[in-house]
Amino acid sequence: MENGYFQKIREQYGTEVWTNNTSGSEMKTALKEGAVGGTTNQCIIEVLLKSDTEFAHAIIDKVLEEVSTDDDEEIAMLILQRAVLRLIKLFYPLYKESNGRYGYVAIQGNPRRINDLEVILKEAEIFHDLGENIIIKVPSTIVGAQAMEELISRGWATIGTACFTVTQYILMAEAYRRGLQRTNKKPRCLIAMIPSVMDKYFTEYAAKHNINVPPDVICQAGIILQRAAYKVYRERSYEAILISGGGREIYHWTELIGPDVANTISAGLAEKLLQERPQVTNTIQKSAPLEVIEELRQNFPDFGLAYDVSGQSHNEILSYEPLIRFNNFFNNGFDVLINEIQSRRVLVKQKHINK
C-alpha cells in the first residue's frame, strides 16, 4: 500500500503527526495516512457528542449504570478513561510494530486539580493501567514538573501540556532529564506548545487595547515562540522533543516541519491537509525577521516574557494569561461533560423505572 501523506512527511523530514480529540472513523483515516499517535483532553466528550453522539451517550450511560457514586467529577473522569480505550486499541498494533516508539494515546487529568501533585500522581497510576500505550499528560508548571520527573523515573511516557513559554519548556525538559537519571528506561516525553492559542490571545489583546499590528504579524507569534523553544532544545541537547498542539490553520502545520518535531492537529485541520496535501519544507529552524520580533515585543508584553530564555520566573507560570485561558477551555469542556452526566442520569434512572 502506498504511504500516506503524513507518513511521507515523517520519512522525509522527521515530523510526527498526532491527532486530537477525533472520532473513531477520523482516527482510522489519520492512521492510514501515517499519524503516529492520538491525544485527548477534557473536551473529548464535548467533541464526540457532536461527531459521534451515539458512542458518547453509550459511554456516559454505561458508567452511570455501573457506579454508585454521586460525585460528578469522579464520574466524569471515569467517562474520559472509557473514551480513550477505543483509541488505545486502535493504536496498539502500531505501538507493538514500532517497539514502543509510536502508537501512544494521551489522556489528561481533572482540570480543576492541576496544582495538586497528589491528585496528579494518583490519576497517573489509574491512567497507566488503561493500556501499555498510554501517555500521560501533566501541566507545564512547577507541580507538573515534579509529577513528570516522578512518572519518568517509573518509566512512564509523559507529555507536558499547556506550555506557552521558553521558560516552561526548559522547566519540563529539565524535569524529564532528571527523571531519566533515575531509571534505566527511556520513556517517551514530549512538551506541547500551543501556537494557535497564542495567535488568538494576541489578536484579542490587540483589539482590546487598540493596538495596530497587522494580522500577518500577529499570526507569526505562536510559531516564533515554538521555534525559540526548539532552538533551546538543540543548543542544550535536551531529550524532550516539542509537539505543537491545537493546530487549526494550515500554517500551523507547514511552518513547524523538521526533525525531532511532532504536530498535533484537529480533525478539521487533518481534513484540510488531506484534501490539499500541501508541499512542505524544513521550516522549524527558520528565523523571523528581527523587525517582526521587535514589533511583537514592543506591543505585547507577554510575547517577550514567553520568548526570552529567562523571561518568566517559575512562580509566574500559573498566573500567565494564556495558560489561564487554556485551562479555562479545559474546564469549560469538563463542565459540558458534567452537565451531560446530570442530564443522562435522569434518563438512565427513568429507563430503570420503566423496566
> Residues 310-332: pLDDT tens digits?
999 999 999 999 999 999 999 99
Is the confidence at residue 79, as pLDDT, over 80?
yes
Task: Output b/e per residue, 205-219; b: 16+ Cβ within 10 A.
Answer: bbeeeeeebeeebbb
Are the C-beta atoms of residues 285 and 292 closer than 8 Å to each other? no
pLDDT number for residue 3: 87
**Is the pLDDT reported for residue 59 higher than 80?**
yes
Q: How confident is the model at residue 351 (pLDDT cuts 50, 70, 90)?
A: confident
pLDDT in tens, 181-196: 999 999 999 999 999 9
For residue 340, pLDDT beyond 90? yes
3-state secondary structure of 242: strand
The Cα–Cα gap between 169 and 6 comes to 26
Phi, psi of 261 (to 5 degrees): -135, 140
How far apart are alpha carbons 172 and 87 in whole angstroms?
26
Instruction: Give pLDDT, residue 355.
Output: 62
**What percentage of the chain has pLDDT greater than the value 70?**
98
DSSP string, 243-254: EEEEE-SHHHHH
Closest CA to 207 of 196, 218, 197: 218
Query: pLDDT value at position 44?
Result: 93
pLDDT tens-digit map of 150-175: 999 999 999 999 999 999 999 999 99
Average pLDDT, the chain: 95
Please check the confidence at residue 179 and state whether its pLDDT lies above 60. Answer: yes
The full DSSP string for 59-94 is HHHHHHHH-----HHHHHHHHHHHHHHHHHHHHHHH
Q: What is the pLDDT of residue 26?
A: 87
Domain boundaries, the chain: 5-348
Per-residue pLDDT, 91: 96
**C-alpha to C-alpha distance for 226 and 112, rounded to whole angstroms:** 27
Distance CA 268, CA 153 (A): 36
* Strand partners for 106: 135
Torsion of CA 56, 62, 64, 65, to 10 degrees: 160
Question: Which residue is listed with cell 488503561?
Answer: 130
For residue range 267-326, list pLDDT tens digits in order: 889 999 999 999 999 999 999 999 999 999 999 999 999 999 999 999 999 999 999 999
**Distance separating alpha carbons of residues 322 and 303, to the nearest angstrom:** 11
User: What's the count of helices (H) and strands (E) in the chain, helices before strands?
Assistant: 16, 8
Name the class of domain 5-348.
Answer: alpha beta
Question: What does the block give as the cell for 6?
Answer: 503524513
How confident is the model at residue 2, as a pLDDT? 66
Per-residue model confidence as pLDDT tens digits over 191-224: 999 999 999 999 999 999 999 999 999 999 999 9
Residue whose C-alpha is closest to residue 213's, from 224, 223, 203, 222: 203
Residues 290-320 as b/e (b if ≥16 CB within 10 A, e otherwise) read eebbebbeebbebbebbbebebbeeeebeeb
- Looking at residue 70, what DSSP letter applies? -
Q: Are 343 and 337 in contact (CB under 8 A)?
A: no
